[in-house]
Amino acid sequence: QDALNECMRDFGGFEHNLQSLRVVEKLEQRYAEFDGLNLTFEVREGILKHCAIKNAKLLGDVGKRFLDKTSPSLEAQLTNFADEIAYNNHDIDDGLRSGLITIEQLSKVTIFADNLAIVKSKYPKLEQKRVIHETVRRMINTLVVDLCTNSAANIAQHQPASINDIRQLPHLISFSSAVAEQNLKLKQFLRKNLYHHYKVNRMSAKAARIVRELFKAFYENTGLLPNEFQVYAETDKARAVADYIAGMTDRFAIREHRKLFTVEEYL
């Protein structure tokens, strides 16, 4: 995202949340009479977890809450937490499997240590692979149960009767203070020990270089783009290139880079 935003600096920039909205409103083309997926306002608004004020001003109804500084719907609040719980715990699993982080390191993080102790006490002879999965499973359960319990208490306390009430209240979907602190410590651990691991930094540097070089190549010669993006590039070249790159998986981006910058022949 940072590399693509850098490439798009003179063309409106790039935000992944905005791109998600762009995908469902414009880039998905399935129906005869309109572009996009014809999603409800509530779903479209909920997609925007973050949005810069300058961009919110261009979005009409879905950008209004960022300008008014009001809360999103309960569904959007809940989705944000579900997303965070999922990727944090998925990253733990990936980090341990790849060897970038260790159980010993994670044992200094309270929410992991507490659940690991329960697993080892209950299943003293369990193989390491299952110990990890069982611990992560229990961490997710800890977070989900606390989120549901605390959010239900918040809703009962404030008793919102409409979406307008929700917008004027502080976020009602939330962890308890104790679990919020544990979750924060987990995020800080992952940021320091996994996301900023030197091997991850090396891969990120390679990825950024691939994105920048792809953007430059496609922008300078739109004839290298697939046909549908060439047509779009006639009216908005930079955004067409950004849309194409943003839709790539890691492996596809690497293949495209090889096709453009190596002397090997590809079909």
pLDDT at 266: 54
List pLDDT tens digits, range 68-127.
999 999 999 999 999 999 999 999 999 999 999 999 999 999 999 999 999 999 999 999
pLDDT at 264: 66
Distance between CA atoms of residues 19 and 17, nearest Å: 5
pLDDT at 128: 93
**For residue 135, is pLDDT > 60?**
yes
Q: DSSP string covering 1-62, please?
A: -HHHHHHTGGGT---HHHHHHHIIIII-B--SS-SB----HHHHHHH-S---HHHHTTSGGG
pTM of structure: 0.88
The mean of the pLDDT values for the chain is: 95
Domain limits, the chain: 1-69, 74-196, 197-267
**For residue 263, is pLDDT > 90?**
no
List pLDDT tens digits, range 34-46.
999 999 999 999 8
Q: What percent of the chain has pLDDT over 70?
A: 99
Write down how long the chain is. 267
Question: Which two tokens mark 176?
Answer: 């308890």
Question: Which two tokens mark 13?
Answer: 């920039």
**For residue 267, is pLDDT > 60?**
no
- Phi, psi for 125 (deg, rounded to 5): -105, 10
**For residue 52, is pLDDT > 90?**
no
Neighbour-count burial of 13, counting CB atoms closer than 10 A to its CB (0-12 exposed, 13-18 middle, 19+ buried): middle
List pLDDT tens digits, range 190-228.
999 999 999 999 999 999 999 999 999 999 999 999 999
Fill in the amino acid letter for 148.
C
List pLDDT tens digits, range 150-159.
999 999 999 9
pLDDT at 98: 94
